Structure 1
Amino acid sequence: MRVAATLLLATFASPLVQPIPLPSLPLHMQHDAVKETSESVAALNAVLEAAPQHESFVMVITQKKVKFASVSDVVAPWGLGVFEVAADGQDAVMTQAQLYQLVNQASRLRQVSWSVTVLVVSDDPAFLAAFAEWSLKGRLLVWSTRLLVLTRLPLHRLTHIRTTLAMTNSMLIIPTPSSTVRYSMYVEVPYTGEEGRPVQVGTWTAQQGLTTTSQLPFFPEKFEKLANRPQLKVTFVQFPSTVTKTVDDPTSPGGKKTIILDPDIRIFDAIAENMNFTFQINSPADGGWGIELSNGSYNGMVGMLQRKEVDMSLSLFHVIYPRTRVVDFAVPLVIWYIRVIVHRGSPEVHPWGFFLPLTPLVWITLLSSLLVVISVFIVLRKCLLDKTLPRTKIGKIIYCSIRVLLQEDLGVSSVSKWWWWERVLLGVWMMIMMVLSQSYTGNLMSLLAVRYIPMPIQTLQDIVDNPVTLIVPTGTTVARTFLDAKSGMLGKVGDLQKVGRIKSVLLAEYSAYMDTHVRRGTHVISNVDTRSTEMMAQDFSAIGRCDFYHAQEEFSPMVASFAFVKDSPLLPPFNKRVLRVVESGIYYYWQKLYNPNFTTCLTPPKKVVVRTTLGLTNLWDAMEHRRSYRKTEMAERVKFVYLWLEGMSLRSIARQTGASATTVQRWPQDEMKSESGGLQAEIAILLQVTTLLSGNWQATEGRSYNLEAPSHSHICATT
């Protein structure tokens, strides 16, 4: 049997839509078809007119025995396509294969249309189930595509397509035969479970026309504000720089609750609260972001999304083309660059520091002046004195001129027998050298107090030239950037793996490697700029100095965003909120809030000034200098925080307590992260974000925001 497949274009069909010839697809039927009537078309038109879609092309998919003779009366100003499928009792395997081909052709038509409304007419449960399966696999029913299902089957016989109806932009139309045929319109609400029932949103009769029966509109934005506050599954891999805090919470399992102090998590938590869902974290066993395997599948978090084990990611991903084939990404939240962290050398005195007070040109001029002075002495000696008169010996003149240069005394007896003009010339030379030597002495004392910090690695070429090992994070695009490069500078760095100078480690081990291998100077570590900056800031907070620096060269810019299951209906409403957050700039504010020293080590000085005794050991080298820090006592910390909470500025606290402003600043900022204080500011910021996400947002049930008692309010991610 051959399929009767036709494509009809209305009078006002879009010029962009061209007929696509469909192959003949034989398909057997198991049940009676739904008979088309003029009332059915009128009910469909009423729904389409009540919820118009701009420039929408209508596709009708039906079975051969369903006589849809008045199909041309369907409201479709931008075109109408009819897919009529013959079903003559073929086996299920053939049915699946033929529906796959039909959906593939319909998807091609969807791609060339501005927007599409799909109308499925059937009362065959097997046909509806097969269509639901292949329409999702073939990406026909994306969220922008509207679906209308017209069937005479009762609701209890449609459980096999309820998930499809719930997760797509769809409506269900069921005629109820009686003296007057009534058409009921239903919307399936997502995440209601097996006990939930579709919501009736309207009815239509020939006498009364279309009547709405619910606050929900036709084709509602079901995912804009989720009903029933469902718990979604998210995947997450923690960065080593992520700050967490465990607090007591009787309502959480085990009586403990983990608060993740990370800007990515805080933004996600705010959006989840605004969309009215909670989330459960499921981390991949391998702890990786996800790389493509030889069979086309992915491991790590991308693999969990590909297999639909979770709904979305809590971690940010690099957006790269291979990943876009298996997952969808939200709008970019931030742009990441790959940076290399290097250990800073120990401060040391410049070995040739005594030449630095004067420039090379001044040194040359000084020596030339000495020769000129000696030459003038000799010339005047020959021109002004008669051969019979006593003359000063040339050796004596040279000796005295050099002694003046070296600031040595001459003695009265040495020049008492000189001619007056010789003494005048020598005095002028002495005045010049006195001014110059005073300048040299002052500059030399300043320069000898300066310690130079060597920073030899600034580019990728420096990594190749220096005997260091590069550490890359396992299973991430950062690692693949080096390991997969075949040419250029990245290719040269990638070739280091052949000689064992590239080491892959899990991100969870990054902090340990940074504190040991990188601190010893034998390794350098690569990561995205934001995370590497956080690692350096936390190291500074722990020890009070910048032991690491960023190499100047940054490369491989990539946008980063949250990842979703392919064609997830959660993505459009999530994108709206991410855009508002990005425009507000709150992401970068939170980065600095949760990392008080976030920018401290971004531009570390190459020179440091110290006061110490000069000796042979530190004049030529290289003695390691480490500054000592006095530990702030608990009583002082308490006083700092108390005065800060009383409203006193940090500078005023420093003047009153006699501590430095840096020391005073550190403890109130730590109070912001402590369990007992500082949450007032954090809650205020979160309220600003949620207000930004939706104008009249109010805290939902289960959360208490008491700005007068910050110690009793906690905002946290569910872990």
Structure 2
Amino acid sequence: MYETVQAPEQEASERAGETTSGRSSFTGRALSGEMALMFPFVALVFFATAAQAASSNAWLAPMPDGLPGVDKVLGAVLAIVPPEYKSFIVFTDGVDTDVVLKAIGDTVDLPSVAVMEVSSGQEYNTTMKRLIGHARKVRQSFRGVTVVVVSEDLDFLSAFAEMADAGRLSVWDNRVLVVTRLERRQFLGLMKDLWLFSMLNTMLINMDDDADDIRYGLYSHFPYGPGGAQTVRVATWTPKKGMVYLTEHPLFPEKFTNFHGAALPIAIWPFEPVMMQERVVAPNGTEYTRLYGRGIRILEAIAGHLNFAIGEALPARVSKDRMDHVLYRRALISPQKLALLPHLALRYDYTFMIEEATLTFCMAKPELKPRWQNLYYPLGERVWASIMALLVIVPATFFLLTKSRMRREAKEKFSLLAATEQVFGTLLGQSFSLPTVSSTRVLVASWLVVAFVLGSAYRGNLTAFLTIPKYPPRVEGLRDLLQTSAKVIMSPDLKINFYTTFKESNSSMSVELAERTYFSETHLGGMQQALEKKHAFIFERLFLNLMIIRNFTNFDGSTSMYVVRENLVPGYSAWLLYRDNPFKRNLDWCILAFHEAGLIRRWSEEVLGEEKKKSHQIRQQEKQKTEAAGAVQKEGSQSGDLQPLSISHLQGTLFLLVVGLLVGVLVFLAERLLPSPESAGRRAKGKPSAAAP
């Protein structure tokens, strides 16, 4: 049957008293015509089937004199309504409501209808705003909605358009059908000046007063037409001829597949390498600012497809200025990506995602371990442990097998130390006297094979590990960062959106990140502090890579900083749009096509590669100047040249030699100062024994 959405009884009774005193009200009419309920400030929503509507006496209400034949023209328009647009929200000022409902019921099968009437009064604006809030909830409950607005009052239509825009009642996927009877200049002004009528999917039906018979014109406003913004009479309806189309445009035409070369202002904030600008001198001598970067490449490709020009670049001192340009509709698009954050989605729209949210951080590269440890690196820890175990097991086994077959005189001279020296000597390339016993020969042969493999592998890798630095493990994500004591540096540009998000997050890791954070006024200064203090600097990945290429890369191509692998914000990033942007789906289609072709990734690599090439050329020029002036001496060759081994490479070998010399000296002193067992035995044999008395 019919359902109503109304306020609590107490509130309804209080507001009913205001209605009797002449204040504004909402009027809901049951379609049976049997009763009418007055609930001020309350939206009454009705859902009716076509069969119920046809059987209702209210459908047969007499046609008002204000808009004769409006039910027929509405029926002709609604006859082409797609299935997803069979839900209707009807706004009227109390005139012609029954006629609109009759047209809907006679034309559309199984419609869902929400009727909202607004009476003028002292609380007119509050009433309209409250109604639109209820209507938006109804609109969000359906896949597609057609909003029908019927009024002959210019002020009513203007107020509705402004409040519907502020209340986000309609988006492009919904349709707005305005039925009125105004002078030509009045409705043309509405179509041109009000966002709801000019930019969204809106048609206006206006009765022509200058015609002898009944005639209605159907108008649509094209903000980016062939000759600029223009309101076009798409069709004419008369009782005799019905609907006659005057242009190639259908009802509710598409407005944003072709901008006809119109210039669209954009909101930018210099953000390398996504958005960069430079001063260029034209052939005629004039200077102008040229925009370039990955964001401009994507926008130029979209502009070529949709046939628009990149207009004025609205300046922004900080990131918030750019967002304000979009928020207040000075620019409808900002071709710079921004992470999809919940609090921004309440006030803005986003395009289809450009890439993952790449907010991350950079740090100073870990310091190299001492070079003498390179003697240890060619073999793994388990291999070294296995070698040490073999140096215990093999000599002991060799000693037992060999000594058990020796003669008595030889057994006294053969010791475990002698067996260990022979086994250890094979690792250093010394010869090994083969035993005569078969069992011992098998053991020695096996050990020689093992010693050959281990020695070859070690010597083969030793040169590489002497010349190539081995870095310790690096921080590669937020979890690794929080396990250190490093502080976090942010640019003030990130304070509004990201720092606040981290601070108010439910994640303990994000909260701890915010607690460690302090701010730096400039990006380069923050990165310099991060390098000197071993802290982390947070910003966008491409920007950090570019800053490292420009400012923290040496002549040989090595860098003192690195960008970690993981991102801080899970999810994606996209371009910022004005809320309910009418050509969002056109932008999304282009961006999706670029992703399918791999163009966005390619453009990112190309822009970064070009900047890397420029920075390399600048470094080479600086290097040539300093070498020509004799200010500095070459401290090495380029990364592509062969590098001779230096003292720093071989310090491990020299360190081992020094340790060996010290141990040798200590053993020598011990032998000289302490008596050996053999000398003690000889002295004992040479001493005469005492004679018995």
TM-score, normalization: structure 1?
A: 0.67
Q: Does 1:580 align with 2:593?
A: yes
Q: Name the SS of the counterpart of 2:357 in structure 1.
A: strand
Residue 162 in structure 1 maps to residue 182 in structure 2:
no
Q: Which amino acid aligns with 2:392?
A: L
Q: What's the counterpart of residue 327 of structure 1?
A: 348
The answer to whether the Cα contact below 8 Å between 2:146 and 2:174 also exists between their aligned partners in 1 is yes
Alignment-mate amino acid for residue 361 of structure 1: S
Name the residue aligned to 2:157.
Answer: 128
User: What is the percentage of aligned positions where both structures have the same residue?
Assistant: 18
Deviations 1:54-94 (A, max 9, x none): 3422333223355755741343332344433333xx34xx2
Q: Which residue of 2 aligns with 1:61?
A: 91
Aligned equivalent of 1:472 = 490
Structure 1 position 364, deviation (Å) = 1.6
Q: Is 1:559 aligned to 2:572, yes or no?
A: yes
1:119 aligns with: 148
Query: Cα 1:40–1:116, aligned 2, differ >3 Å: closer, same or farther?
Result: same
Change in CA separation of 1:246 and 1:621 when aligned onto 2, cut-off 3 Å: farther
1:191, CA displacement in angstroms?
5.4
Match of 1:39 among 53, 56, 69: 69
Q: Which AA in structure 2 matches 1:108? A: K
**Which residue in the other structure is 1:571 paired with?**
584
Tell me the residue number matched to 2:670: none
Contact kept, 8 Å, 1:541 with 1:597, in 2: the verdict is no
Structure 1 residue 196, shift from structure 2 partner: 5.4
Deviation at 1:133? 1.4
Task: Say whether residues 1:402 and 2:432 are aligned partners.
Answer: no
Number of residue-to-residue matches in the alignment: 564
* Map of 1:460 onto structure 2: 478
Give the alignment partner of residue 125 of structure 2, picking from 96, 103, 107: 96
Aligned-partner Cα distance in 2 for 1:597–1:226:
32
Residue in 2 that maps onto 1:16: none
Cα distance in 2, alignment partners of residues 131 and 333 from structure 1: 36
Alpha-carbon distance change, 171 to 525 in structure 1, aligned in 2, over 3 angstroms = same
1 CA distance for matches of 2:577 and 2:390?
Answer: 71
CA distance in structure 2 between the partners assigned to 1:7 and 1:79 by the alignment? 14
**Mapping of residues 275-294 of structure 1, within 5 Å:** 275-277=306-308, 278-285=310-317, 287-288=318-319
Letter of the 1:209 partner, please give it. G
Offset at 1:219? 0.9
What is the aligned counterpart of 1:494 among 514, 524, 527?
A: 514
**Cα shift at 1:208:** 1.7
Alpha-carbon distance in 1 for matches of 2:355, 2:566? 19
Change (3 A) 1:265 1:541: farther
Contact 1:537–1:595 under 8 Å retained in 2: no
Residue 317 of structure 1 corresponds to: 338
1:141 is paired with a residue of what secondary structure?
Answer: coil
Q: Is 1:240–1:511's contact at 8 Å kept on the other side of the alignment?
A: no
1:147 pairs with 167, 176, 182, which one?
A: 176
> Residues 415-460 of structure 1, C-alpha deviation per residue, up to 9 Å, x if partnerless?
9xxx995999799869956972784276146325413122342343
**Aligned partners of 2:74 and 2:510: how far apart in 1?**
60
Question: Aligned partner of 1:126: which letter?
Answer: D
What letter matches 1:114 in structure 2? R
Distance change (3 Å), C-alpha of 1:7 and 1:137: farther
Of 246, 251, 265, the residue aligned with 2:296 is 265
Which stretches in structure 1 are left out of the alignment for 5+ residues? 11-19, 27-32, 289-298, 497-501, 601-607, 623-719
**Larger displacement relative to structure 2 (325-334 or 392-401):** 392-401
One-letter identity of the residue aligned with 1:205: T
Bigger relative CO (Cα 8 Å, ≥ 6 apart): 1
Looking at structure 1, the residues matched to 609 and 220 of structure 2 have their Cα atoms a distance apart, in angstroms, of: 49
Q: What does 1:210-221 align with in structure 2 at a 5 Å threshold?
A: 210-221=243-254
Distance 2:82 2:430 in 1: 107
Q: Work out whether 1:362 is the aligned partner of 2:387.
A: yes
Q: Write the deviation string for residues 671-716 of structure 1: whole angstroms up to 9, x where unpaired.
A: xxxxxxxxxxxxxxxxxxxxxxxxxxxxxxxxxxxxxxxxxxxxxx
Q: Which residue identity does 1:340 align to in structure 2?
A: F
Which residue of the partner structure matches residue 24 of structure 1? Answer: 40
**Residue 319 of structure 1: how far off its partner (Å):** 0.8
> Does the 8 A contact of 2:281 with 2:287 survive in 1?
yes
3-state SS of 2:84 partner: coil
Q: Counterparts of 2:429 and 2:145 in 1: how far apart (Å)? A: 101
Contact preservation (8 Å) 1:235, 1:314: yes
CA change 1:552–1:204 in 2 (3 A) is closer
Residues 628-665 of structure 1: per-residue CA shift (max 9 Å, x gap) = xxxxxxxxxxxxxxxxxxxxxxxxxxxxxxxxxxxxxx
Is the contact made by 1:123 and 1:153 (CA closer than 8 Å) also made in structure 2? yes
Q: Are positions 1:137 and 2:166 aligned together?
A: yes
How many angstroms does 1:562 deviate by? 1.2
Counterparts of 1:593 and 1:321, CA distance in 2 = 32
Amino acid at match of 1:23: F
The 1-side partners of 2:446 and 2:99 are apart by 116
Q: Is the 8 A contact 1:354 1:444 kept in 2?
A: no
Alpha-carbon distance in 2 for matches of 1:594, 1:95: 55
In the alignment, is the contact (CA less than 8 A) between 1:59 and 1:80 conserved in 2?
Answer: yes
Other structure's SS at 1:238 match: coil
| Aligned partner letter, 2:354 | L
In structure 1, the residue matched to 2:214 is 181
SS of aligned partner of 2:176: strand
Alignment partners' CA distance in 2, 1:69 and 1:615: 95
Structure-to-structure mapping, 1:680-695, within 5 angstroms? none
| SS of aligned partner of 1:128 | helix
Q: Is the 8 A contact 1:225 1:275 kept in 2?
A: yes
C-alpha separation in 2, matches of 1:334 and 1:254 = 37
Cα deviations by residue, 1:110-151 (Å, 9 ceiling, x for unpaired): 233332222222222211211111121222232222222222
- Equivalent in 374, 381, 404 of residue 379 of structure 1: 404
- Aligned counterparts of 1:269 and 1:425: Cα–Cα separation in 2: 81
Give the structure-2-normalised TM-score: 0.70
Letter in 2 for 1:269: E
Measure, in 1, the Cα distance between the counterparts of 2:207 and 2:435: 130
Say which of 515, 519, 527 aligns to 2:539. 527
What is the RMSD of the two structures over their aligned residues, measured on CA atoms?
A: 4.4
| Counterpart contact for 1:536–1:546, Cα < 8 Å | yes
Conserved? CA contact 2:224–2:255, under 8 Å: no
1:266 to partner: Cα distance: 1.2
Map of 2:361 onto structure 1: 340
After TM superposition, the structure 1 stretch with the greater mean CA deviation from structure 2, 421-430 or 335-344, is 421-430
Q: Is the 8 A contact 2:276 2:291 kept in 1?
A: yes
Counterpart-to-counterpart distance in 2, 1:411 and 1:42: 113
1:349 and 1:448 in contact (8 A); partners too: no
Cα distance in 2 for residues equivalent to 1:392 and 1:195: 112
Displacement after TM superposition at 1:274 (Å): 2.2
Deviates further, 476-485 or 310-319: 476-485
For the residue of structure 2 that corresponds to 1:596, the secondary structure is helix
Between Structure 1 and Structure 2, which shows a larger proportion of helix residues?
A: 2
Shift of 1:554: 4.4
> Which residue number in structure 2 is paired with residue 6 of structure 1?
29
Cα 1:38–1:405 change in 2 (3 A) is same
Letter in 2 for 1:6: R
Shift of the 240–480 alpha-carbon distance from structure 1 to 2, 3 Å rule, reads: farther
